[in-house]
Amino acid sequence: MLKISELAGRIGLSTHTIRFYEKHGLIEASERSESGYRLYSAADVNRAAFVKTARNIGFSLEDIAQLLSIRLDRSSHSCQEVTDITRNKLHEVSRKMAELKAMQKVLSRLLDNCDGGLEKATHCSILEVLDNGGLAATGGVN
Amino acid sequence: MLKISELAGRIGLSTHTIRFYEKHGLIEASERSESGYRLYSAADVNRAAFVKTARNIGFSLEDIAQLLSIRLDRSSHSCQEVTDITRNKLHEVSRKMAELKAMQKVLSRLLDNCDGGLEKATHCSILEVLDNGGLAATGGVN
DNA sequence: GTTGACCTTAGAGTTACCTCTAAGCTTATA
DNA sequence: TATAAGCTTAGAGGTAACTCTAAGGTCAAC
């Protein structure tokens, strides 16, 4: 049985974060010492590592809570439930990527059209674009 | 002079958001009516539109505060200051994109390796990957 | 003159995920 | 035995950008 800081070192989370995850039902210590210290079994460690891995991949705490409840009783759940969570996450990621791509495009174009020199910003093309409501007004394709 | 809801309608922000931006120094009403209502001049409207445009592009409120202070006194600032802000934002966006790409890759591979059928999740390959610390353990390239 | 829409303020609540603090007990080391 | 490291709890603080509420004043229309 590991104490909280040992678990923390083992899986690479702070003790703070482990208690935080516990409060949200993601990690639990199956025992307590006489003095009240959390004690983690091998199964607890595996569960914590599962959480860490899922978090690294990018699943939200809520996603992970769902995945854990499936993991806890695999035979009561279908494989589809797992792929649904994964697919939703993938869609979310793709949506965010599209947003970022749009931002990237605009920012690049702003930089392309601007000298960026040490001269005064009196005629800075970036400020002008922002003043004129966006790139469309300065000949951007959109 | 426009009242707050007129400004809101004009630029596409809620009155709540306008007051919030005001509290953070981004938007201001150059006058008040006798009864204390905010009154926005044409210059105020332009400034608010600038904020909205910059926000749409993805600049943070802090970025926008800097851009506004440059805009307010262009001749005391260099064009480079503006491009620096823009370039930093672009780097931030690129960094986030890279993170999301990594997530996308992992999620796609998880889905590829999994049936996702209605059968029980007893041998769900996604859960197995999460249990085993990530894709590396299942033959992923990394 | 009374609805009802709109305005004011300060301040709390939201989302997601931590991160830290205080006050006090326990355990290990020297 | 003393001291330092580590554990406990409840709860506050932080970030970013809103979003909403309460309690009350104002304004235009019927």
At B78 the three-state DSSP class reads strand
Instruction: Tell me how far apart the alpha carbons of residues B98 and A25 are, in angstroms, rounded to a whole number.
Output: 30
Largest Cα–Cα distance in chain A?
73
Question: Is the C-beta of residue B36 closer than 7 Å to nucleic acid chain C?
Answer: yes
Share of chain B above pLDDT 70, in %: 96
Q: What is the mean pLDDT of chain A?
A: 92
pLDDT tens, residue by residue, A69-122? 999 999 999 999 999 999 999 999 999 999 999 999 999 999 999 887 888 889
Find the DSSP H helices in chain B.
4-11, 15-23, 42-57, 61-72, 79-112, 125-131
State the smallest CA–CA distance between residue A77 and chain B in angstroms. 6
- Measured between CB atoms, which of B49, B93, B104 is closest to A103? B93
CA–CA separation, B16 and B8 (whole Å) = 9
Query: What digits encode the pLDDT tens for the residues B61-90?
Result: 999 999 999 999 999 999 999 999 999 999
The pLDDT of residue B119 is: 86
Confirm if B138 and B130 have CB atoms less than 8 A apart. Answer: no
**Facing residue for A121 by CB, picked from B82, B100, B120:** B82
Residue with nearest Cα to nucleotide C27 C1' = A35
Question: What are the structural domains of chain A?
Answer: 1-73 (1.10.1660.10), 78-142 (1.10.1660.10)
pLDDT tens per residue, chain B (142 residues)? Answer: 999 999 999 999 999 999 999 999 999 999 999 999 999 999 999 999 999 999 999 999 999 999 999 999 999 999 999 999 999 999 999 999 999 999 999 999 999 998 878 888 999 999 999 999 888 744 433 3
Sign of the CA dihedral running B21, B25, B26, B27? positive
Cα B109–B111–B116 angle (5° rounding)?
155
- How many angstroms separate the CA of residue B124 from the nearest CA in chain A? 6
